[in-house]
Amino acid sequence: MAYTIAFFGTKPYDESSFNDKNKEFGFEIRYYKGHLNKNNVLLTQGVDAVCIFVNDVADAEVIRVMAANGVKLLALRCAGFNNVDLNAAAAAGITVVRVPAYSPYAVAEYTVALMLSLNRKIPRASWRTKDGNFSLHGLMGFDMHGKTAGIIGTGKIAKILIHILKGFGMNVLAYDLYPDYNFARQEQIVYTSLDELYHNSDIISLHCPLTEETKYLINDYSISKMKDGVMIINTGRGQLIHTNALIEGLKNKKIGSAGLDVYEEESEYFYEDQSDRIIDDDVLARLLSFNNVIVTSHQAFFTHEAMENIAATTLQNIKDFINHKPLLNEVKK
């Protein structure tokens, strides 16, 4: 009998990429559109492994039921794992694996796209011309050449981003708990304190993981230290930013613009078509009302190459688990 995997929170593009890659593995895959939660965890009966994405919930209650159903492996088809109770998984004997990197180029390039779109007012310009308005009033941007970018977190994505920004002729300040000084010398960037980064950066981009220490890293206090008119970009995790503090910064013009591919309460909205209903999240609705804010639906990763890599790594993780091989991408508390 084929090894059976239940996939939750799936879309047609997930099924397409995984079905194509699964020709090499031969697993039996069951796809479910709904996000994994306590109300549908019963669907894990009769499967060997469960595969989830960023907005699925694998808390202690869900993990307990999965374990009772005989599930031994929880495979995340994403890098983040803050939606998984790792202590509960360990106690229940469920192994957790993830996809630590699928296409750092995809996210880095998308980050630059947000910067350029905000700076040069491209969405506003496009809306205007479609309406026959070819005025330039209100569309002035700034040369990125010579400006300073502050990059918080210098993992694979951030390093590619830094390389791109250096190509624009930007100065780069970086912050990381574990600085890579060889990389800094190579790219001629400066590691500095958060306070100095806040104080000197024209653009701040977030690329650190979400931990207890980084939750709401961007808040009223940190925003008060920033340059007037600063641009803030977040393609990392929604809860790195306290959204109400961001909104207040936008209202008082301390923050000049913001590009958000993530949102702290995104699970209720992102990846779904909500166009036929009123957005009842007042905070999200307020964000969407600003003409100097771009909110996108956690799509920075979304390229052909990334989807292929996600499918390949996820299925290989599962195969390695079955064959009792070392799990290079295992997640432990």
In the DSSP assignment, the letter for residue 212 is T
Q: In the predicted model, what is the mean pLDDT of the chain?
A: 95
- What does the pLDDT read at residue 198? 98
What is the distance of C-alpha 43 from the center of its chain? 27
1: pLDDT strictly greater than 70: no
Residues near 18 by Cβ (< 8 Å), separated by ≥ 6? 7, 29, 311, 314, 315
pTM, entire model: 0.90
In tens, the pLDDT along 145-199 reads: 999 999 999 999 999 999 999 999 999 999 999 999 999 999 999 999 999 999 9
In tens, the pLDDT along 229-255 reads: 999 999 999 999 999 999 999 999 999
User: Is residue 221 within 8 Å of 246, Cβ to Cβ?
Assistant: no
11: pLDDT strictly greater than 70: yes
Question: How open is the CA angle 50-52-58, to the nearest 5 degrees?
Answer: 85
Q: Quick check: helix, strand or coil at residue 285?
A: helix
Whole-number Cα distances in Å, 39 to 49, 58, 266: 18, 12, 19
In tens, the pLDDT along 132-147 reads: 999 999 999 999 999 9
| Sign, CA torsion 97/242/228/195 | negative
Give the number of other Cβ atoms within 10 Å of residue 201's Cβ.
24
Q: Which helix (H) or strand (E) holds 304?
A: helix 304-322
- What does the pLDDT read at residue 269? 81
Catalytic residue set:
237, 266, 298
Question: How open is the CA angle 65-71-74, to the nearest 5 degrees?
Answer: 100
Question: How open is the CA angle 175-181-187, to the nearest 5 degrees?
Answer: 85
- What does the pLDDT read at residue 279? 87
Q: Which domains does the chain have, with CATH numbers?
A: 2-100+302-321 (3.40.50.720), 103-293 (3.40.50.720)
Q: φ, ψ for residue 275 (rounded to 5)?
A: -70, -15
Region of residue 143 (left: phi > 0; alpha: psi -120 to 50; beta: else):
beta
